[in-house]
Amino acid sequence: MTFFRCVLTTSTILAVAGYGGVAQAAALSDAQTPSGKSQAHKAASSGKTLKGRAGAAAQQSASTAPAGQTRVSLSPSQGLPEVVTVSALRRPVRADDVGSSVTVVTDEQIATQQRRTLPDILARQPGLNVVRSGGFGGTTSIFMRGSNANDVKVRIDGMDINDGSSADNAFDAGQFVTDGIGSIEILRGPQSGLYGADAVAGVIDINTKQGEGRFKPFVRIEGGSYGTFNQAFGASGSSGRFHYNVVLSHYRTDGFHEIPRYIDRYNEANRAQRRAGDRNDNRSANVKLGYDVTHNFDLGLTARLIQANYHTFTSYDDVFTPYNGDQLIRDQNTQNEAVVRGTAHLSSFGGMFDQVLGLGYMTNRRRYMQDGSYADGEPAMTDPYYYRSTRLKVDWHGTVDLRKYGNLLVGAEHFHDTIDVSTSDPTEPMHTTAGMDTTAGYGQYEGNWNRILYGAANVRYDSNSRYGNHVTWRVAPAIHVPNTGTIIKASAGSGFHAPSLYQLFVNQRGAGWGEEGNPNLKAETMIGYDVGVEQKLLHDKLHFGATWYDNKVRNLIQSSSYVLPVAGSAWGDYIYSYGNVGHARMYGVEAFLDWKALDTLSFALNYTWTHARDTENNAPLQRRPQHKFNFNTTWSPVKDFTLSGNILYTSGWRDYPLVGENYCSTCGKGHGYFTIDLTAHYKINRYISVFARADNLLNRQYEDPIGYLQPGRAGYGGFTLNY
């Protein structure tokens, strides 16, 4: 029994993360400063969204709201603000001036839409498909431009946070809350030329907010459906040269039943199993500290801590109803994660040479077990499985301002990664420890000609102690057609995804089965390009555009299996491993429209069309919907009162079925769905604000992935106290 439950649980995690068979193919904290503009550097490293008109790209937009306060007022400026990106070139640059496809999500947008978790806000962005196994806390994978979830590199305050203890090294956003986030930059297309391994499909760069001004404490209380009771409190501000922002939060849900009715009926679930609900308890802390030693030298320290306990009853538990009888067996997943990074920033020679030195550390500790007993009285999995990983990162990069001749960026990084995977079950022993080192260097030139042609080109060399050496590159020009408001963008680059330490070295044995790593795995590689056009009209109040992209991947890392003969056994042992096979191609279109109809009314929509296939057999890739549409509107009919509405539509996709006789990774078809969400916020006075939101207003019952219901109609409300 333990064997079957372990295999099914592992299959669930791998499937949600983007693995499962032949058809399964395969931020701002270290920003650089424009010459002499230390204020722009501080804004970039603090997580503020840099806005302004064409001649003020590096100006800082002051953020006077306390940490945690919902800032929802619309800007009364003439047109839409011009947002500055840092992740595209590792220094603050107008998004209009880079050829890369980038989306910047601000803290104001997160607050207005009242998105409390990272998956909820990312699901609304172009080019992304977010898959979550159940409600808040479930294993969450992020697919970008049709690529695998582990092809997306995620960073927070300059620290790489993909989970090295997972089988595929993907980032799991399930327990990541948005408190303390200043901005999220989504950089699409191969980015290994700047960011190295795993930045194949793109980069999600998260930056936390920096405190400024007077001491501003806050408390936010929220409650609602599914036993939700959330609390967040903290303070931000500055005193002399010292600035700080501290946010602590506790999120709790209880009672969400994630199993679809047809699966309950198919497995003949009893009353207790049909009513069993998931429970999640999340405690998070976000700390950002800074000290300006001199006018051109400052120090920074950031920390993100997560402690979560997730208890679930899943479709896989439902399958074992004949074995469990009237017993209710639950899965228990515990996660403890810490991300810490310190930086030293120095601007020299009047701003002509700007450099950042960073030291970061990440550790992730996860435990999986079960509670309860089977029908025969045998206890469930009482011996936990442990998954542990650490990452140490040392990095430096500097920018030379060549004035009218552009900017030159050089940098170097060193990573030391380890994993420790084990179980205390004596009948199915597993204990894998391994480590690897990566040293990399990169360079980039960026410039413009007469403010018409902008461009950047970079190259990077990575040397890894396990999977060898890789050279990657990227070029990204942008053309501003004079006096038309038209911008033509293009980019081309290469990327690679490294095999994880788990895939290389895992070794475990059970009764009739086993799992073996493959130390000869090669890295997946990609070549990708995109081209797009953007247009500004109505005095910059209307922006729209579209981008075509095309990516080709080779040496896909996929799961494999074989039968090992055993003396005295007619069947032998089933051994699971990994190998490099096949090719895949992903292409499609991303389009957007932003319209500021009035100073108090704005509209934003985006559409994504994705075609992702295994080119070996022309089979569709798992969990890649072909169409996705998102529409959002924000309206402030009166002062201090704001309404926001959102419509999200996702078309059907191929998936792993949980009932029936066919069990290939794309034999099931997920049904498309759309949801409508509404939020409202009212600032009573300078001290008290109240808010409310309704999610999935039409109570659509949908699964994503198959076998995991997403929350139906739900209502939430609360208040925020500020000083």
Highest mean pLDDT out of 246-250, 377-381, 560-564: 246-250
DSSP state of 350: G
pLDDT exceeds cutoff 90 at 319: no
pLDDT exceeds cutoff 60 at 282: yes
Whole-number Cα distances in Å, 297 to 239, 241, 345, 646: 17, 11, 6, 43
Q: What 3-state class would DSSP assign to 6?
A: helix
> What would the 3-class secondary structure string for 455-522 be?
EEEEEEEEEECCCEEEEEEEEEEEEEECCCCEEEEEEEEEEEECCCHHHHHCEEEECCEEEECCCCCC
Q: Which domains does the chain have, with CATH numbers?
A: 84-722 (2.40.170.20)
Number of residues in the chain:
723
CA 228/CA 225 separation, integer angstroms: 6
Per-residue pLDDT tens for 88-139? 889 899 999 999 999 999 999 999 999 999 999 999 999 999 999 999 999 9
DSSP state of 258: -
Q: Which two tokens stand for residue 316?
A: 């896989």
- Report how many helices (DSSP H) and strands (DSSP E) the chain contains, helices first: 10, 36
Exposure string over 199-224, b if 16+ CB within 10 A, otherwise e: bbbbbbbbbbbbbbeeebbbebebeb
pLDDT exceeds cutoff 60 at 48: no
Per-residue pLDDT tens for 57-88? 333 333 334 444 434 334 445 688 888 888 88
Residues 6+ apart with CB under 8 A from 537: 485
Are 591 and 548 contacting, i.e. CB atoms less than 8 angstroms apart?
A: no
pLDDT of residue 315: 84
Residues 6+ apart with CB under 8 A from 97: 57, 448, 454, 478, 480
Between 72 and 385, the higher pLDDT residue: 385
Strands of 511-568 (E only): list them.
Answer: 513-516, 524-537, 542-564
Whole-number Cα distances in Å, 310 to 163, 428, 652: 18, 24, 28
Per-residue pLDDT tens for 503-536? 999 887 766 677 888 898 889 999 999 999 999 9
Q: Structure pTM?
A: 0.89
CA 162/CA 173 separation, integer angstroms: 10
pLDDT of residue 24: 34
